């Protein structure tokens, strides 16, 4: 994971901001040091003296064979998170991907804002403020992901086809959504250290790739950083977006399945302990 964490540490030390990659360490709250730390996941026994270092985490226990994750203790401690993650991920996996939102959530987040209000104000809008507003007004905005919708400007929210809330998240989340697939990383680390670190890393790397598309399709001009735009204001750009969105939905499917299986293993642990 140091290919991602080392540059982040360097940027932070020098006060440099990155409008694409900082998101992975600011919006997502998993510290870089935790990304760099390896955990084996349930059912693995670590042998040797070095394994004793894992006992500093209360959810590990010592056995005659070595050190292992105390699944029952972890399940009791994180019961609510395990239940919600399993329910959300299972509901999402059971739906067909819906494509064609064209990443308009990023445009709706700056709709009718003054230049000084724009989140990434160090970077210009490709079409300017008026051009950006016209794109929002000319397209059907249909974002069903609450954690994207909550950042819409007040003027943009009535334009959305649905009005998602935290309470309707399980009902609305679907596997074509870029943010739902990025959030596989969030559910992986919320179950840390029970999540095998290889799975956390796989989810993180998928989230980075999706984030790059998210910002390439955004209204910002990030070409100086090497991110060529996916111009969703054009028919060609929208077609490219849908192709990439479909590929990410396919790539997310096995990761979501692995997280669902993990949640089932963890949810079953307290039952087995009684």
Contact 149, 109 (CB under 8 A): no
Tokens representing 200 are 């956390």
Q: Using one digit for the tens of pLDDT, what is the confidence trace for 94-129? A: 999 999 999 999 999 999 998 888 888 889 999 999
Residue 3 has pLDDT above 90, yes or no: yes
pLDDT at 121: 86
Query: For residue 274, what pLDDT is reported?
Result: 40
pLDDT, average across residues 125-134: 96
pLDDT of residue 248: 98
Please, what is the Cα angle at 54 between 50 and 58, to 5 degrees? 160
* pLDDT for position 215: 97
Q: What is the pLDDT of residue 270?
A: 60
pLDDT at 87 over 70: yes
* Pairwise CA distance, residues 41 & 191, whole Å: 10
- pLDDT for 269 equals 83
**pLDDT single digits (tens) 29-39:** 999 999 999 99
Q: What is the 3-state secondary structure (H, E, C) of 29-83?
A: CCCHHHHCCCCCCCCCEECCHHHHHHHHCCCEEEECCEEEECHHHHHHHCHHHHH
- Taking 90 as the threshold, does the pLDDT of residue 79 lie above it? yes
| The pLDDT of residue 271 | 47
Write the secondary structure of 167-236 as one string of H (helix), E (strand) and C (coil).
CCHHHHCCCCCHHHHHCHHHHHHHCCCCCCHHHHHHHHHHHHHHHHHHHHCCCECCHHHCCCCCCCCCHH
Q: Which residue has the tokens 């998928």?
A: 206
pLDDT digits (tens, 9 = 90+) for 179-196: 999 999 999 999 999 999
In this prediction, residue 164 has a pLDDT band, given cuts at 50, 70 and 90, of very high
- Supply φ then ψ for residue 8, to 5 degrees: -65, -45
What mean pLDDT value characterizes the chain?
95
Identify the weakest region by mean pLDDT among 42-51, 135-144, 232-241, 264-273: 264-273
Q: Which has the minimum average pLDDT: 72-76, 180-184, 202-206, 268-272?
A: 268-272
């Amino acid at each position: 994971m140091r290919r991602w964490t080392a540059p982040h540490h360097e940027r932070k030390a020098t006060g440099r901001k990155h409008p694409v990659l900082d998101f992975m360490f600011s919006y997502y709250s998993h510290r870089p040091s935790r990304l760099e730390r390896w955990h084996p996941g349930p059912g693995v026994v670590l042998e040797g003296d070095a394994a004793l270092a894992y006992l500093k985490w209360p959810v590990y226990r010592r056995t005659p064979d070595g050190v292992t994750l105390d699944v029952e203790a972890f399940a009791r401690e994180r019961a609510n998170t395990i239940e919600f993650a399993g329910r959300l991920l299972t509901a999402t996996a059971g739906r067909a991907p819906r494509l064609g939102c064209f990443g308009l959530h990023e445009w709706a987040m700056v709709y009718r804002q003054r230049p000084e209000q724009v989140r990434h104000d160090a970077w210009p809008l490709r079409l300017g403020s008026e051009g950006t507003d016209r794109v929002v007004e000319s397209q059907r905005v249909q974002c069903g992901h609450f954690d994207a919708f909550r950042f819409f400007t007040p003027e943009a929210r009535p334009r959305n086809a649905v009005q998602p809330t935290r309470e309707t998240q399980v009902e609305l989340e679907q596997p074509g959504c870029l943010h739902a697939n990025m959030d596989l990383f969030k559910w992986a680390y919320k179950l840390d250290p029970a999540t095998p670190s290889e799975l956390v890393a796989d989810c993180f790397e998928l989230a980075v790739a999706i984030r790059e598309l998210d910002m390439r399709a955004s209204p910002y001009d990030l070409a100086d950083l090497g991110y060529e735009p996916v111009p969703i204001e054009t028919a060609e750009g929208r077609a490219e977006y849908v192709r990439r969105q479909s590929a990410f939905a396919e790539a997310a499917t096995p990761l979501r399945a692995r997280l669902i299986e993990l949640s089932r293993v963890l949810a079953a642990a307290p039952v087995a302990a009684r």
